[in-house]
Amino acid sequence: MKLYYLRILAFFFISCLHKVSIHNFPQSKSQINYEKVKSEQNFRNMDLRFGSKQEFYFSGTFNNSEEYLINLIKEVVKNEGFKIKKSDIQQDFLIFEKGLSLEAWKSIIGIYYNINESTNSLEVYLLYQMTQDITGSFDVNFAEIRGDKIRFKLRSTNN
């Protein structure tokens, strides 16, 4: 009987629907088509339960420095249990990783931003991917949750 339960447990450990890797993420903001992401994000996020890829896009006014934005993003995402995995200030992106959590075996979130100083505007794209087993995940857009937290903090500083 114990062998039966061990086999079932082993099955869940090795039967991941999708294994996430940092190599699945764009390595530059120039690889992001912000207009396409903006127009397609509702369609792409329709079936979140078995979707290992979640996206969120937002834009708004931005009256601070790039350094301020980076520190704000780091603060919000690190408070969610993520650790910085890769960042490239020249390419305007940050990638964070998180181990085992309620929603996944492993999660990675890439945050790409585009600051337009001439119009004081900002575009932010969050790409969240996770390693899940066959049970799937919650029907929640985790990219949107983190993105809304970043957007809320930005709005409170821009007012």
Domain count, the chain: 1
Residue 71 domain-assigned (yes or no): yes
pTM, rounded to two decimals:
0.79
Report yes or no: 52 and 129 within 8 Å, Cβ to Cβ. Answer: yes
Residue 29 domain-assigned (yes or no): yes
Residue 93 domain-assigned (yes or no): yes
Around Cβ 64, how many Cβ atoms within 10 Å?
15
Q: Tell me how far apart the alpha carbons of residues 109 and 126 are, in angstroms, rounded to a whole number.
A: 7
Structure confidence by residue, pLDDT tens digits, 135-152? 555 567 788 889 999 999
CATH number of the domain where residue 150 is located: 3.30.310.80
Is residue 49 predicted with pLDDT exceeding 50?
no
C-alpha distance from residue 132 to each of 27, 100, 101, 113, 141 (Å): 23, 10, 10, 27, 14
Residue 46 domain-assigned (yes or no): yes
Residue 4 domain-assigned (yes or no): no
